[in-house]
Amino acid sequence: MTEMPAVSLALDNQLCFKLYAASRAVTRAYKPMLDSLGLTYPQYLVMLVLWEWHALPPAQPTVKSLGERLMLDSGTLTPLLKRLEQRAWVQRRRSAGDEREVHLSLSEAGVQLRDHTHRLKARLLCDSGIDLNQADALRDGLDQLLGQLREGSSSAPIGPAGR
């Protein structure tokens, strides 16, 4: 095995660090908008999926399918959903056929929140000066990277040789 040059371990050469820093910067940029709506960033992500589902509902709009969509486990989602339910934006109800299954829907207030969010997000994008074509290209590249990482994680061994 050949030894990697030290420059390959420099922080600024790490894709993982750039992704982490960019994610934090985006979350920070969204914070004032989300604070004005009374949402945290993870709650916002939940609402994005529920707004999608409101427009085009899946066969099973459940906590499990929400977790799969957001790549989060139910232990993370449950407190988020409880807070959104307390705000009267989300409704949860157990399935009559299987009480382990929890179905999700938006309340009317949750649907209306989308309109407020849309206006604030448009202003955020305008104020940030982000080039929308570059943002679209970056998002597409990240989709490709995520797909490759998902494929690789199911077949690659874990350990010094595998990663």
Q: Are 98 and 104 in contact (CB under 8 A)?
A: no
pLDDT digits (tens, 9 = 90+) for 62-96: 999 999 999 999 899 999 999 999 999 999 999 88
pLDDT digits (tens, 9 = 90+) for 5-32: 778 889 999 999 999 999 999 899 889 9
Structural domains of the chain ordered from first start: 26-125 (1.10.10.10)
Q: Are 112 and 51 in contact (CB under 8 A)?
A: no
Enumerate the H helices of 10-131 as residue ranges.
Answer: 15-37, 41-55, 63-70, 74-86, 108-128
Rounded CA gap, 44 and 54, in Å?
15
Is pLDDT above 60 for 118? yes
Q: How far is CA 64 from CA 61, 67, 92, 106, in A?
A: 8, 5, 12, 16
